[in-house]
Amino acid sequence: MKSSRLTWSTGWVVALLLAGSTWAQSAAERCKEFLEYGLPSDRGALLCRSGFALSHDEDKKAPVWVAQRMTPERLVSRVQRSNRFAPDPELPKGKRAELEDYRGSGYDRGHMAPAADMRWSAQAMEESFYLSNMAPQVGPGMNRGIWSEIESAIRTWVAQRGELFIYTGPIFETLKIAKIGPNQVAVPTHFYKVVFDPIRVETIAFVVPNSPHPNRKIDEFITSVRDIEQRTGLNFLNRINPAVQALIEESVAASLW
């Protein structure tokens, strides 16, 4: 497999990454800490939080994408996991998931931006439990298994590498989408994660089916960013120089970082 590693000096990496790009998207300006390298799409309602930004699909009652900027400083644990799940107060009733949608559904309320990434701030922790940051996810072997392992691996990479940008969301690949609850919350067939290291100019990406995966390793789910874009219609890292964007998005990481 091709590797996304580039061996450039960091002195001019940022200039090349941003060359020729336009930062005129007013929506992205509002959440620019998390969207420095571009808005993945203008689909849905853009919501800016303390620890992440997201685009919410009012038809599916689920995020389109959730963007994070993680740094070693944000790995410091100052607050405990809250478990205070709640509907998003910025979204109107009828256009959002409610707690009763998940009751008895057999699905976990699967975080896109993980609660474990938000221990640095009480507000960030609280906002991570809004249902706008979640989608129905199989629990054993998925949310409480391989997906959690991917999230943990990313925190390790943040500690080792420094600043990383992370994009997470659902994929729907069936003509008839399964739905749960009175508000008809859509059930994804897969979930994706895209991780971008702006210093080393590398990406690693994962797609995981929404099903149990006992005895599987996370490197079995590595894919390319381009694969995720084709399956979702999103456009990640679009503020980067197009030639660089194409190179790192079409490459597949040869191994875990």
Q: Residue 190 catalytic?
A: no
Do 138 and 211 contact (CB within 8 A), yes or no?
A: yes
Within 8 A by CB and 6+ apart from 7, the residues are: none
**Distance from chain centroid for Cα 211:** 18
Residue written as token pair 């474990």: 116
Q: Which of 56, 111, 190, 213 is catalytic?
A: 111
**Distance from chain centroid for Cα 8:** 27
Q: Distance (Å, rounded) from C-alpha 159 to C-alpha 43?
A: 32
Q: What is the largest CA-CA distance in the chain?
A: 54
Residues known to be catalytic:
111
